[in-house]
Amino acid sequence: MFSVRRAAVSFTQKRAFSASAANPYKVAVLGAAGGIGQPLSLLLKLSPKVTELALYDVRGAPGVAADISHVNTNSVVKGYTPTPENLAEALKGAEVVLIPAGVPRKPGMSRDDLFNTNASIVRDLADATAKANPKAKLCIIANPVNSTVPICAEVYKKHNVYNPATLFGVTTLDVVRASRFISELKSTDPKAEKVTVVGGHSGVTIVPLLSQSNHPDIEGEVRDKLVNRIQFGGDEVVKAKDGAGSATLSMALAGFRMAESLLRAKDGETGVVEPTFVDSPLFKEQGVEFFASNVELGPDGVKKIHGIGDINSYEKGLIDACLVDLKKNIEKGVKFVAENPPK
Ligand SMILES: NC(=O)C1=CN([C@@H]2O[C@H](COP(=O)(O)OP(=O)(O)OC[C@H]3O[C@@H](n4cnc5c(N)ncnc54)[C@H](O)[C@@H]3O)[C@@H](O)[C@H]2O)C=CC1
Ligand SMILES: O=C([O-])CC(=O)C(=O)O
């Protein structure tokens, strides 16, 4: 007989952290054996803030866990095979849950084309999280983020455990890209380039606010090209990978940054700000329930949602276009759960 208990393969290192160690945080990655999941898990293993790493996937998680567990940092790594009991065990006690589970794009596809496959994957993983650990900070990487985040909110509402402060669509990659692209243009250090990107996470819903960057002088054709590159940076990678998927390594870095920021804020660090797609008051009056903007993180998740600040007329045009698509994407996610509730 297959033993559910034994299926949770544990690679406990001999010098496990004592209960009194600082920052004793468990982090769970669902979809851990994938293109993003593997490097993301590796980065989490390197973080002194993480003491337990739970790796779950429908295939291959124990192998990835065995591999990563040999990295000589002081944390425990466990790999989980796909049973409901193992999924619940992986989730239990996690401070942060990251979901990169789902299919990536191929050339010619939009992120919305992933909806049919990924909506039910994310719905079911959100359902498991709502049952096993509803207080965890839930970070959604799986696309289309503009729809998968509302799907999670609807699932949590069905369980009466929805807390808008703990649900995050991961849009960090958009600012990682924006700062890199602007530094290429201006021959500067990308780390010094702070670019605000708001809206959502696909095409025209990605709105860089260059007027608030270090280089408000970027205008005209140069600006249009830069904005387009930031909005469609994901397509650049999809095209270059030529059918083998989308961004994985830069995304792992971006997802890790988001997770680490949540843990830093949990530790009481103040002034931790990340861009993220959250249940937001900013455009609710226009019927847009979720919106990405800079968000100050606190021990309980969202502490303060920053407004979009002063924008110019060009950026106002970008926001208007963003809101049209974003509203449809959000409504699609909400409708999906209404018509296909978790079993
Ligand atoms: N938010 C963002 O900025 C970005 C999002 N993405 C999205 O992340 C997702 C994952 O991308 P990749 O890692 O490249 O794909 P991948 O196909 O390499 O990995 C996905 C993993 O999810 C697993 N999986 C599938 N169904 C599952 C389930 N029900 N439970 C647990 N695991 C499951 C698969 O076995 C696979 O290991 C895609 O939807 C992609 O579009 C990708 C890049 C950036
Ligand atoms: O482009 C994709 O499909 C993956 C993604 O979200 C990104 O790289 O920003």
Of 18-27, 176-185, 244-253, 281-290, minimum mean pLDDT range: 18-27
35 lines ligand 2 (CB under 6 A): no
pTM: 0.95
Cα Rg for the chain, rounded, in angstroms?
Answer: 19
Residue identifier of the C-alpha nearest atom 29 of ligand 1: 121
The answer to whether 86 touches 3, Cβ cutoff 8 Å, is no
State the Cα–Cα distance between residues 57 and 35, nearest whole angstrom.
12
pLDDT at 24: 86
Residue range 60-81: mean pLDDT, rounded: 97
In this prediction, residue 23 has a pLDDT band, given cuts at 50, 70 and 90, of low
Residue identifier of the C-alpha nearest atom 7 of ligand 2: 234
Q: What confidence tens digit (pLDDT) does each residue in 243-292 have?
A: 999 999 999 999 999 999 999 999 999 999 999 999 999 999 999 999 99
Residue identifier of the C-alpha nearest atom 5 of ligand 2: 234
Cα(111) to centroid(ligand 2), Å: 7
Averaged pLDDT of the chain: 94
**Known binding positions:** 31-37, 57, 105, 111, 118, 141-143, 177, 251
- ipTM attached to this prediction: 0.99
Residue 99: Cβ within 10 Å count: 26
Shortest-distance ligand to the CA of residue 29: 1
In this prediction, residue 187 has a pLDDT band, given cuts at 50, 70 and 90, of very high
Residue 215 among the catalytic residues: no
Cα(20) to centroid(ligand 1), Å: 35
Cα(217) to centroid(ligand 1), Å: 38
Atom of ligand 1 nearest to the CA of 114: 39
178 lines ligand 1 (CB under 6 A): no
Ligand 1 pocket mutation, candidates 141, 239, 249, criterion most atoms within 8 A of CB: 141
**Known binding positions for substrate:** 105, 111, 143, 177
Cα(202) to centroid(ligand 2), Å: 8
Atom of ligand 2 nearest to the CA of 143: 6
